Amino acid sequence: QVGNPGTSVTTSNFEVETYRPQATLTITIAQGTEYDGKAALKPGDNGTLRVVFSDPEPLTVSNFHFDNITVTEFVNVSTMTSLDNITWEGIFTPVDNSTGNFTGSQSQSNSYSSNVKFSMDDDSFRDHKGNPGDDADSPSFVVDTKPPYVTKVTLNDGLLDLDDTLDGSAPFTNRCIPVHSNIKVTFDYIMQASSIIANGVNRTDCVGTIQVSSDNFSSCVEMPNDHANPTASANNTTFELDPVDNLSYDATYQIRVENGGDGVKDALGNAMTSQFNHSGGFRTSAFPSSSPTSGVFVAVGEYGTTFRSIDNGTSWDNGTCLFLNNTLRGVGFGNNTFLAAGDSGKIIRSTDNASSWSISASTSQYLDAFTFGSNTFNAVGTSGYTFNSFDNGSTWNSRRTPSSGSPYNYYRNIGAVSFGNNTFVAVGQSGKIVRSTDNGTSWSNVTSGYSPYPYGNNNLKGVSFGNNTFVAVGISGEIIRSTDYGSSWDNVTSTSPSRDLQGVSFGNNTFVAVGESGRIQRSTDNGTSWSNMTSNVLNDFREVTFGNNTFVAVGLEGRIVRSTDNGTSWNSVTSGTSNELYGVIFGE
């Protein structure tokens, strides 16, 4: 320790490098397929994945391996190769998802909407100094190798859609289709709109990729020029066809969608594998025949269909309709005008003996029945609402019957109405009875439809007038009668207390009531006593009417029976429908 000074020492040079290496991922599709600005793959396409490393200068990464890349489930990638360990390339091809077995993250929907891409995680590669690389992604792209197919055919009557989801339920079968209906075809996924082509105007040869025909495609329905490419909606999955003119009356139409190279294609150009033919098709409304010179019976029912007989109910025209799915529950006649309404609250009107119909009005209530008297129509329906018209159904006034007693103030449904001796009488839920002596402008309770129930609490379903007597019928065979214009009522002993009665009518000094399981009863003493008649029908009857010395009753499964001997004997007739009929009326 003598204090000698030390000499300076310098290490050799060394480098400090903390820059994280970068990877740039790019893709190119050899066929140039694109969707919405993105690269895309369809069957037969292939793409190149290129990975370039930098630091930020070009950087050699010799330990890079294909497993360093996270590969989307939609593609297969060949082994990555490189000539300089800076740029690596591999070929990728789409996985066949045409079987439709892919779900979840590998579903067709996710292929379009998710970020389908290649990616590299943090530290999935390192430079030669051992610095971990940053994460990196390729641009997103689309894969779709599944051929498109039709999922639904829809008819639209201007008010609502009626769908056939092709599940075998065949909702168009046994249904009257309005001739003004439009037709929609829906595919499983996004379509190439330019491939969806219908016939243009003045083209009746079948040249489009979607065709509509009533003669097995010997000719096809014309479409306006602006609908030669049908209107697209729902992200180019649904296409609507609007014929130049209405469809033809009383015709069965089929829909065909073409496949193959000249057929419809999805967004990436995939063609359908087989031609689509809409099995069964649909049948349009019968042609409105000329007005008869004598009286006419009119029946209404399920799906808004009307039927007409001009030979006292012996035979019936095929059904006509304005709606696809608005069941008609009641029909009335007066002053050479027929009116009908039902579930939709829409009232339809005919002034040519039910040859043709038009919409008269729309209400917010279901309507069940009509009657006519003193130059006034009255309609009744749900929640105590009634509507009256003084101009043969052209315009309507909304009314409401009194509520049903404190403290609940129930507005009972009204199901039937009749007219006699300048008095309208309506009956309904829980024994509710109301009457009006001012043509339905105001109503007063005879019974409130709430306790106490002077004539029982069964729902009353029908009411009729004859020989200065009102007769009402209802559930559990209930029959009541009034001889003082509906002010008070007497209970009558039913011959079928276990069977519901749905309707009642009067003619030739005879009341006839109809109901459950083909039940028919008649009275020839103004409703005081009743006898059971044989109908040989097991279906429920819904309504009965009288005209031209003939009673006609209608009911479930299109059942119609008639009697020409004042209800003593009955014969079944063919209605032309298996759908339910709810109302029937006779018009002079």
From the candidate CATH numbers 3.40.1360, 2.40.160, 2.60.40, 1.10.287, the one assigned to the domain spanning 22-143: 2.60.40
pLDDT confidence of residue 97: 62
The span from the CA of 40 to the CA of 123, in Å, is 29
Predicted pLDDT of residue 450: 84
Predicted pLDDT at 422 = 97
Q: How far apart are CA 495 and CA 478, in angstroms?
A: 10
Tell me the domain boundaries of the chain.
22-143, 147-285, 296-587
Comparing CA positions, the residue from 470, 473, 454 lying closest to residue 462 is: 473
Q: Report the pLDDT value the prediction gives residue 291, as an integer from 0 to 100.
A: 67
- pLDDT at site 99: 39
Measured between alpha carbons, how far is residue 499 from residues 294, 394, 502, 519 in Å? 36, 39, 10, 7
At residue 150, what is the residue type? V
At 412, the amino acid letter reads R
Q: H-type helices in 212-346, by residue range? A: none
Q: Do domains 22-143 and 147-285 have the same CATH topology?
A: yes
Type of residue at 322: L
473/503 Cα distance (integer angstroms): 7
Torsion sign over Cα 100, 103, 106, 112: positive
Q: Which residues of the chain have pLDDT under 70?
A: 1, 14-18, 97-108, 114, 226-227, 290-291, 293, 404-409
CA dihedral 128, 130, 131, 137 (to 10 degrees): 70
For the stretch 16-60, pLDDT in tens is: 666 888 999 999 999 999 998 899 999 899 999 999 999 888 888
**What's the pTM value of the predicted model, to 2 decimals?**
0.84
What's the confidence (pLDDT) of residue 103?
53
Cα-based distances in Å from 522 to 69, 363, 509, 512: 87, 36, 10, 4
Domain 296-587: give its CATH code: 2.120.10.80
Backbone angles phi, psi at 177, to 5 degrees: -110, 120
Nearest alpha-carbon partner for 197 in 153, 260, 263: 263
**Of all residues in the chain, what percent carry a pLDDT higher than 70?**
94
Q: Say if residues 299 and 554 touch (Cβ distance below 8 Å).
A: yes
SS3 558: helix
Q: In sequence order, what DSSP letters do the residues of 164-216 get, joined into one string?
A: E-SSS--TTTT-EE-TT-EEEEEESS-B-GGG-----TT--S--SSEEEESST
Lookup result for tokens 């106490």: 452
| Long-range CB contacts (within 8 A, 24+) of 571-574 | 572/536, 572/537, 573/313, 573/314, 573/315, 573/316, 574/315, 574/316
DSSP 258-273: --STTS-BBTT-PBPS
* pLDDT tens per residue across span 246-302: 899 999 999 999 999 999 999 999 999 999 999 889 999 998 776 676 789 999 999
Is the CATH number 2.60.40.1120 carried by domain 147-285? no
- Identify the residue whose tokens are 């292929």: 111
Q: Are strands 252-257 and 276-277 parallel, antiparallel or unpaired?
A: antiparallel
The structure tokens 């591999």 sit at: 90
Amino acid at 463: V
Compute the C-alpha angle 234/240/242, nearest 5°. Answer: 155
